[in-house]
Every structure is written in C-alpha cells, then in structure tokens.
Amino acid sequence: MFQKSGYISLKRAAQQLGVHEQTLRSWERKGLIHLARLPKSGYRRVPVEEVQRIQAAMLSDNTLVGVRRAPPNGDAAALTQAQALAATVRAELADLASTLMFDEFMQARRGRTWLP
C-alpha cells in the first residue's frame, strides 16, 4: 500500500521543511497538506510530492493558502534595530579568524563563555 520511497516520516518532512512537526499536523487539520496514515498504527507519513510542493512554495516566497507569515510585531523601529543588529553580527562573523572557536567568540562578544 505504501511505497517506501514515496513517503517519509513526519519528523523527516518537518526537518526538510524547517518547521515543527506540530506545524505539519496543524496544516493537515486545515487541509493544506495531505498526510497518509499507516493502516495498523495510524502513524502519519508525508508523500514526498507534498514536501516538494511546500518547499517550492517556500523557495518562491509564495504563501500557502491559509498560512500567513507573522509580521515581526508591527513596530518599524524595532524591525530596523533588529536588522541593524543582524548586519553587525554578520559582519563580525565574517571577520572572524578561522582558528577562533565559537566559545571564544561568545566570550569576546558577551563577556562570558557560551557553555558553563
């Protein structure tokens, strides 16, 4: 009934799409995605075609019908500040020496180590 190569687990589909497993369950309830169920266990499996369809919509920046992207919070000043901070961090990361460890970077950036 289920071709092994035609379906993937809910967990793997969520990882490939960069969403939480619960998001896929929610999309199924809304009718945005079709998930198959295994006959005896009832576990969900995601058709590979559905994953590809959603990936294509995400890459092309199309919105899925019934799904909207949440705006940051409507505060233009906060969005501008966040974008400036992100640009600063990107610039700092680009300037890092390849020998610098992540923990050393965090200590220099935040004044403490990342791990306790």
Task: State the CATH class of domain 4-59.
Answer: mainly alpha
pLDDT band with cut points at 50, 70 and 90 for residue 9 = very high
Which of residues 103 and 21 earns the better pLDDT score?
Answer: 21
The average confidence (pLDDT) of the chain is 77
Q: pTM to 2 decimals?
A: 0.51
Query: How far, in Å, CA of 25 to CA of 29, rounded?
Result: 6
Q: With beta carbons less than 8 A apart as the criterion, state whether 30 and 65 touch.
A: no
How many residues does this entry show for the chain?
116
**Model confidence over 22-59: pLDDT tens digits?**
999 998 988 888 899 888 888 889 999 999 988 887 77
Q: What is each CA distance from 76 to 44, 69, 71, 79, 82, in whole angstroms?
A: 41, 16, 10, 5, 10
Q: How far apart are CA 88 and CA 58, in angstroms?
A: 27
Parse the chain into domains and list their residue ranges.
4-59, 76-110
Query: Which is more confidently placed, 67 or 75?
Result: 75
Q: Please report the pLDDT score of residue 1 as a whole number.
A: 41
pLDDT class for 104, splitting at 50, 70, 90? confident
Mean pLDDT of 93-115: 66
